[in-house]
Amino acid sequence: MSIPGFNIIHCQYFNSIGILGWFVSGKLMGKNAIPGGQMKLYDQLVPLWKVVDWFLRPLLGLSVICVAKKN
């Protein structure tokens, strides 16, 4: 990945499990917001998702953090 005018110092994906939730709720079920029960379950399983993210971080994620320095 490159950004004109910036040197990328670090980039990483996170929330890889969120891709599944986004696909099921948003695309298959056509919902615009996450239902409260699903969000509560997701929040309770965050320790598990952190482990999943640790393994999948180099490959994919719903979100990305990128640190760059302006040239």
Question: Is 19 a domain residue?
Answer: yes
**Above 80 in pLDDT, residue 2?**
no
Domain interval for residue 39: 6-70
Q: Which residue has the tokens 């040197």?
A: 7
* Domain tally, the chain: 1
Question: Is 51 a domain residue?
Answer: yes
Question: Is 11 a domain residue?
Answer: yes
pTM of the full predicted structure? 0.64
**Above 90 in pLDDT, residue 1?**
no
Question: Is 1 a domain residue?
Answer: no
Reported as a single tens digit per residue, the pLDDT across 5-33 is: 999 999 888 888 888 888 888 889 888 88
Helix (H/G/I), strand (E/B), else coil: 66: strand
pLDDT at 27: 87
Reported as a single tens digit per residue, the pLDDT across 48-58 is: 988 888 887 77
